[in-house]
Chains A and B, each alone.
Chain A
Amino acid sequence: MKSLAELKAIRERVQSQVSMRAEDHNHIRVVVGMATCGIASGARPVLTTLANAVQEKGLTDKIAVTQTGCIGLCQYEPIVEVMEPGKEKVTYIKMNPDKALEVVERHLIGGHVVEEYTLNHADIK
Chain B
Amino acid sequence: MYRSHVLVCGGTGCTSSGSQQIMETLKKEIEKNGLSDEVAVVQTGCHGLCALGPIMIVYPDATFYSMVKVEDIPEIVSEHLLKGRVVTRLLYKETVSPAGKIKALSDTDFYKKQHRIALRNCGIINPEVIDEYIGTGGYEALGKVLTEMTPDEVIQLLLDSGLRGRGGAGFPTGLKWKLAKQNEADQKYVCCNADEGDPGAFMDRSILEGDPHAVLEAMAIAGYAIGASQGYIYVRAEYPIAVERLRIAIGQAREYGLLGKNIFDTGFDFDIDLRLGAGAFVCGEETALMTSIEGKRGEPRPRPPFPAQKGLFGKPSILNNVETYANIPQIILNGPEWFASMGTEKSKGTKVFALGGKIHNTGLVEIPMGTTLREVIEEIGGGIPNGKKFKAAQTGGPSGGCIPAEHFDIPIDYDNLISIGSMMGSGGLIVMDEDDCMVDIAKFFLEFTVEESCGKCTPCRIGTKRMLEILDKITKGTAVMEDLDKLEELCYYIKENSLCGLGQTAPNPVLSTLRYFRSEYEAHIKEKRCPAGVCKALLSYHIDRDKCKGCTLCARNCPADAIIGTVKNPHIIDQDKCIKCGTCIEKCKFGAIYKR
- A residues contacting B by CB (< 8 A) are 1-4, 7, 10-11, 13-15, 17-21, 23, 25, 27, 31-36, 39, 47-48, 50-52, 55-56, 60, 64-69
Taking a contact as CB atoms closer than 8 A, the residue among B4, B57, B134 that contacts A7 in the complex is: B134
B59 touches A4 (CB 8 A): no
Q: List 24 A-B contacts (CB under 8 A).
A: A2-B264, A2-B265, A4-B140, A7-B134, A7-B140, A15-B136, A17-B2, A17-B135, A18-B135, A19-B135, A20-B60, A21-B124, A23-B62, A31-B84, A35-B84, A35-B85, A36-B83, A39-B83, A51-B3, A60-B60, A64-B61, A67-B83, A68-B84, A69-B84
Question: In the complex the two chains form, what is the Cα distance from A18 to B85 in whole Å?
Answer: 23
Q: A1-B256, A18-B135, A51-B3 are in contact. List 6 more A-B contacts (CB 8 A).
A: A11-B135, A13-B135, A18-B125, A21-B59, A48-B37, A66-B4
Which of B7, B135, B258, B265 counts the most A-chain CB atoms under 10 A from its CB?
A: B135
Which of A20, A33, A36 counts the most B-chain CB atoms under 10 A from its CB?
A: A20
Which of A7, A48, A68 counts the most B-chain CB atoms under 10 A from its CB?
A: A7
A23 touches B105 (CB 8 A): yes
B104 touches A25 (CB 8 A): yes
B84 touches A67 (CB 8 A): yes
What residues on A are CB-neighbors of B137 within 8 Å? Answer: 11
Given A17-B2, A18-B124, A48-B3: A4 and B135 within 8 A (CB)?
no
What residues on A are CB-neighbors of B106 within 8 Å? Answer: 23
What residues on A are CB-neighbors of B57 within 8 Å? Answer: 21
What residues on B are CB-neighbors of A64 within 8 Å? Answer: 60-61
B83 touches A21 (CB 8 A): no
Which of A10, A25, A33 counts the most B-chain CB atoms under 10 A from its CB?
A: A10
Taking a contact as CB atoms closer than 8 A, the residue among B84, B104, B143, B147 that contacts A32 in the complex is: B84
A66 touches B136 (CB 8 A): no
B270, CB-defined interface residue at 8 Å? no
Given A4-B143, A69-B84: A15 and B135 within 8 A (CB)?
yes
Given A4-B147, A11-B135, A48-B3: A20 and B59 within 8 A (CB)?
yes
Question: In the complex the two chains form, what is the Cα distance from A18 to B1 in whole Å?
Answer: 12
Contact mask for chain B residues 547-562; partner A; CB cutoff 8 A; 1 contact, 0 none: 0000000000000000
A10 touches B3 (CB 8 A): no
CB contact list, B77-95 vs A, under 8 A: 82-85
- B residues contacting A by CB (< 8 A) are 1-5, 7, 37-38, 57, 59-62, 82-85, 104-106, 124-125, 131-132, 134-137, 139-140, 143, 147, 256-258, 264-265
What residues on B are CB-neighbors of A19 within 8 Å? Answer: 135
B104 touches A23 (CB 8 A): yes
A66 touches B60 (CB 8 A): yes
Given A4-B264, A7-B139: A51 and B134 within 8 A (CB)?
no
Question: In the complex the two chains form, what is the Cα distance from A55 to B1 in whole Å?
Answer: 8
Given A18-B135, A20-B5, A66-B61: A48 and B140 within 8 A (CB)?
no
Given A21-B124, A48-B38: A14 and B105 within 8 A (CB)?
no
* Consensus secondary structure, chain B interface: loop
Taking a contact as CB atoms closer than 8 A, the residue among A1, A14, A69 that contacts B85 in the complex is: A69
What residues on B are CB-neighbors of A14 within 8 Å? Answer: 131-132, 134-135
Taking a contact as CB atoms closer than 8 A, the residue among A34, A65, A66 that contacts B82 in the complex is: A34
Question: In the complex the two chains form, what is the Cα distance from A65 to B1 in whole Å?
Answer: 13
Closest-CB distance, A57 to chain B (whole angstroms) = 11
B134 touches A11 (CB 8 A): yes
Question: In the complex the two chains form, what is the Cα distance from A3 to B257 in whole Å?
Answer: 10
What residues on B are CB-neighbors of A31 within 8 Å? Answer: 84
Question: In the complex the two chains form, what is the Cα distance from A31 to B5 in whole Å?
Answer: 16
Closest-CB distance, A119 to chain B (whole angstroms) = 19
What residues on B are CB-neighbors of A11 within 8 Å? Answer: 134-135, 137, 140
Question: In the complex the two chains form, what is the Cα distance from A87 to B82 in whole Å?
Answer: 28
B265 touches A3 (CB 8 A): yes
Closest to A55 in B: B1
Which of A17, A48, A60 counts the most B-chain CB atoms under 10 A from its CB?
A: A17
Closest-CB distance, A14 to chain B (whole angstroms) = 3
What residues on A are CB-neighbors of B104 within 8 Å? Answer: 23, 25
Closest-CB distance, A60 to chain B (whole angstroms) = 7
What residues on A are CB-neighbors of B84 within 8 Å? Answer: 31-35, 66-69
Question: In the complex the two chains form, what is the Cα distance from A40 to B316 in whole Å?
Answer: 69
Given A2-B265, A14-B132: A21 and B5 within 8 A (CB)?
yes
Closest to B37 in A: A48
Closest-CB distance, A42 to chain B (whole angstroms) = 15
Closest-CB distance, A37 to chain B (whole angstroms) = 11
What residues on B are CB-neighbors of A52 within 8 Å? Answer: 1, 3
A35 touches B83 (CB 8 A): yes
Which of B60, B61, B257 counts the most A-chain CB atoms under 10 A from its CB?
A: B60
B38 touches A51 (CB 8 A): yes
What residues on B are CB-neighbors of A7 within 8 Å? Answer: 134, 139-140, 143
Question: In the complex the two chains form, what is the Cα distance from A2 to B268 in whole Å?
Answer: 12
Question: In the complex the two chains form, what is the Cα distance from A64 to B82 in whole Å?
Answer: 16
Question: In the complex the two chains form, what is the Cα distance from A48 to B306 in whole Å?
Answer: 60
